[in-house]
Structures are given as structure tokens and as C-alpha cells.
Chain A
């Protein structure tokens, strides 16, 4: 139950597996915050993130019987949340390529002299790039895992990460001096 310990984790899981609403609520209360954070970092809007938070816990409550207790509970819940958030991006027809992003957002936004804080820079990344950055660099998923969740190739995940870091570096004013 690693990063987000639940008091009496085993009994909470047992309660939830038995269909006890108190067990479901205990799971929700324990993991609401990290799940929302993950959803919000991937989804574009707070509304989408809240919807995905709700869908995630519905799925957790419905599927808790399938959770094998030898694995990390947070890891299991996190994968459900990440999949739901990525599904939401697909449903919203996210911008799939950087080329389209540049075309739509415009080169004007690529202000090389602009410096912004990391939070703003992250928010400004295209949806897919931001999702890859967050899943890889913060949540610790491998490119293979991210590719699997996105239905893309490992190369796609790697190139999205590289482009995202190129942008972050520029927007944060961290470009190298040759």
C-alpha cells in the first residue's frame, strides 16, 4: 500500500470486497487526493478531472474483488485513474501531434524570452505531452507502460517526453548556453 498508506488497509479492502459502503468510502477518502491530482495533471479542466475522479472510484468499487492483495493498492488504483484520464483525453479528441499543436496554438505562444513557473509551463503543454511527462517523470511509469495505456508505440512516448522537456526548458528559461 506504499505511498498512500490506509489505516487498517487489509480490513478496509476486506470490507470493500464484501460490498460494505463504509469500506468503499474509506478507500475513497484515502485515495481521493492522489487520484484527483493525477487526473488534474492529465486532464485539461477541473471539471474533466472531477468526472474522472468519480469514474475512477466507481470502477474501484465495482472491481475491488479483482484486486490481488499481493500488489500495491495505490498502484492498482493509480492505473485505473490513469487509464480513465487518458480515455477522457481521447474522448475529447486531444491534439495528437505537436505539429497540430503548433499550428493551433500558434508560434506566437512559443515566446523564447518568456519565463514562467513550472506549474504554468506544465499546464501549457499539449495534453498528450503533459500526460507523458506526468506519468513518466512523476508517477514513474515506463515508456512501455505508457505506450500500452495510450495505445501507441514506445517511440511515441519517448518522443513526446523529449519534446515536452524541450518546451519546458525553453519556457522556464533554462536553455543551454553553447
Chain B
């Protein structure tokens, strides 16, 4: 008598009303040896399923979290750079309008110049951060938290700057200048965090 192969026995375990081929099913009904083999196959699979659940030797969540934070930070910096570029272009057009339209007084012109300076400083600081390449570095928990707080505050400022861009207002330039100065201060702090690893930021 030819007994069933492992392939045939496995096929008989596949889901379905009539698994495997008919001849194999009929053979299984009459052959004790193949029936025993089939039972052992069932038991082996049951034992495989009953193997203990293996546990990792160490907690990988901090590493996952650090990567997520780094990715989030990179996305934010990209966004900040885009906004800074757009705002710089807007300020340049304002300056052009002022120069073309004649000097309306020293106040607005001086404010525009100051805004441009703050933007330039802001961009230089972002380049410094890029050069430092924080995404490629491992940060301890405290540093990451402090950097995150600063970036969150920068994001809030950027949002305000975006709103100012679309809101005509007589006092807009003064407010823009204030926000850009705050932004420079925060970027300064962020550079400090990455360079000194949060030791002297004072947040």
C-alpha cells in the first residue's frame, strides 16, 4: 500500500469543505498508519502554536520614539524653511513698493530693513542647525524634549506670521518685526540646545 506523502497530508489540513484530493481522503479513512501520521501532524502544529511567546531583551520604544521625533523635527524644519523663504520674498516686495512709491517716512522703511535683517539672521541660524544635522544625532530625552518645545514655539510664531501675511493691517510691520525677532531668539536657543545639549538654555 502506498501511504500518503507529507504534501498530501498537509493538503488535507487546508481550509475548505473537501480539502486535498478525493483519493487521499478515502485512503486516510482506511489506513491507520496515515491516520496516525495525520494526527501527529495536527499535534505538531498544535505544539507549534503553544510555543512560548518570545520577548525582546530590551525596550525598543525609546529608539522608536527618538526616530519619530527626529522625523517630525525634520518635517517642521522643512516647513519653517518654506515659510521663511516665502516671507522673505514678501518683505522684498514690500521694500520694493516702498522704494518705488517714495519714502513715506523713516518708520516703515526702518521696520522693513529690520525685518529683513531678522529674516537673514533667522536663515543663517537655520543653516547652522542644518550644518549641525540634528536628525543624524542621538539626543537624550531631555534635549529632545527641550528642542521639541522650542520647535513648537517656532511653529506657533510661523503660524502667526502666515496670518499676518494675509491680513492687511496698519501695524502689521511692527508686529512682523516683533515676531521675527522672537523667532531669531528661539532659533538661537535651538542652536544652543543642540550644541550644549540643553545644559544652559534656561527653559
Contact = CB atoms under 8 A, between A and B. Distances in A.
A69 interface: no
14 contacts: A21-B65, A24-B64, A34-B53, A36-B56, A46-B56, A50-B60, A57-B64, A118-B48, A122-B48, A137-B49, A138-B48, A165-B44, A169-B40, A178-B33
A162 B55 contact: no
The size class of the interface chain B forms with chain A is 20 to 34
B162 interface: no
Contacts of A58: 64, 67-68
Interface residues of A, number: 42
A34 B51 CA distance: 12
Contacts of A118: 44, 47-48, 51
Interface in A154-175: 158-159, 161-162, 165-166, 168-169, 172, 174
A61 B68 contact: yes
B61 A28 contact: yes
B56 A49 contact: yes
Interface in A53-71: 53-54, 57-58, 61-62
Given A118-B44, A122-B51, A169-B40, A24 B33 contact: no
A133 B47 CA distance: 12
